[in-house]
Amino acid sequence: MSLLFRYIFGKHARLLLLIMCLGLGLYLLTELVERVDIFIDNGAGLDLVLKYFGCRLPGIISQILPAVFLLATVVTLCLMGHSRELTALHAGGISFTRVATLLVLCGLFWGAVQFACSQFIGVQGDRYAAKIWQEQVRKRDMSNRSISDVWFMEGSWTVSVDSLRYDGHGLGFTARHLKEGSASDIDVVISAPEVYGSSDGWVAKNAVRLYPESFKREELAEVTLPLDQSPELFFSTSSTSLQHLPIWQLGDAIQQLGEAGSNVEGLRTVWHGKIAYAASLMVMALLGAAIVSWNSNVYIAVAISMAGTFLLYALTMFGESLGQRGVLPPMLAAWGPDIFLLTVAMLRLYIVSVRR
């Protein structure tokens, strides 16, 4: 690790953390104003309010980090330019492109932080915050939610449940197994009045197992079926909550839902988007360098960077919409904004390097 990189990283990190604190303060203040009446009406104490927003912090950080990183990059380069540090580096044989490359390495570090916040800490924090909001603030019991007439396919099994609760408890369970090598012949039918489902397997209670070919019938107190389908997925597919799963769980859900015949193009777009959003911080490093190379006035550069942030968010939402509708392939829909901004930044930096 070079001395120059440590210097740039430290200078950039201090500005980033300062801007991050300001951004978090504005975000939390806005949300607090929107929800303060609900907290007061439901008698939520200060400790519960702090716990709720504390759980939200990692998720909020992951959302605003690309914008914060771009602003920190622009301000860092503008300050280095006004203090003649960039001029001194150029005189010492260190080009502006080299400085931009070091900022890309900073983007790699903060991109890893964004990915960790969004896929590890943030996911758990958002789940716990949602639980606090629904159960402790709004006084709702979420465990009793249920849906009816559930069907899915997994491997050679076709499963139906008359009524399924969020905790995995179901009523009116029937599973049909297709004969190996056949597309329509059923060799086993298992039915039970009660079932407990989880990603570790589905356990049918007081089950009856039928063999249609031999008309054999077996009564079993309990039978476990090797099904990986999580009951939570059926509650998630009707809302956007499935999109907030960690990337590895989302990948499993895409596979399961795809095998069950569901359209998963939108979820594939989200899966790629999670990686692309973290990678956007490296793009922001080059975009910030390109902005400052065009105009080093800190006020103008900050204004342009805010427009660039808005463009990133707008293109990301537009790409996700096209990906979910099947207009664009999921990978192109998710990575399109990064590719576009990267092309613009690289073109500008190439022009600067040629002129110098």
Taking 90 as the threshold, does the pLDDT of residue 262 lie above it?
no
pLDDT of 274:
92
**pLDDT over 70 percentage in the chain:** 91
pLDDT bin (cut points 50, 70, 90) of residue 235 is: low
pLDDT of 156:
81
Burial of 97 (0-12, 13-18, 19+ CB in 10 A): middle
What's 224's DSSP letter? Answer: E
Among 1.20.120, 2.115.10, 2.40.160, 2.30.30, what is the CATH number of 168-229? 2.30.30
**pLDDT over 90 percentage in the chain:** 44
Cα–Cα distance for residue pair 307/94, rounded to 1 Å: 29
pLDDT of 72:
96
User: Distance from CA of residue 168 to its chain's centroid?
Assistant: 25
pLDDT of 239:
40
The region of weakest confidence among 41-55, 140-154, 170-184, 286-300 is 140-154
Taking 80 as the threshold, does the pLDDT of residue 67 lie above it?
yes
Question: What are the start and end residues of each CATH 2.30.30 domain in the chain?
Answer: 168-229
pLDDT of 151:
79
pLDDT of 133:
79
Which run of H or of E encompasses 65? helix 46-82
DSSP helix/strand/coil, 42? coil
pLDDT of 184:
67
User: 356 or 115, which is more confident?
Assistant: 115
Q: Which region, left, alpha or beta, applies to residue 197 given φ > 0 means left and ψ of -120 to 50 means alpha?
A: beta
Going by C-alpha positions, the residue among 44, 12, 65, 60 that lies closest to residue 281 is 65
Mean pLDDT across 143-147:
71
Could you tell me the CA-to-CA distances from 165 to 254, 259, 348 in Å, in that order? 21, 22, 56
> Between helices 46-82 and 298-325, what is the axis angle to 10°?
120
DSSP helix/strand/coil, 157? strand
Mean pLDDT of the chain: 86
Q: Which residues pair with 208 in a beta bridge?
A: 191, 219
Cα–Cα distance for residue pair 115/129, rounded to 1 Å: 19
Cα–Cα distance for residue pair 37/134, rounded to 1 Å: 15
Contact (Cβ atoms closer than 8 angstroms) between residue 342 and residue 320 = no
pLDDT of 236:
54
pLDDT of 268:
87
Taking 50 as the threshold, does the pLDDT of residue 240 lie above it?
no
Q: For residue 195, what are its two tokens?
A: 């079932």
Going by C-alpha positions, the residue among 346, 296, 304 that lies closest to residue 70 is 304
Span 288-309, pLDDT tens digits: 999 999 988 999 999 999 999 9
Cα–Cα distance for residue pair 35/37, rounded to 1 Å: 6
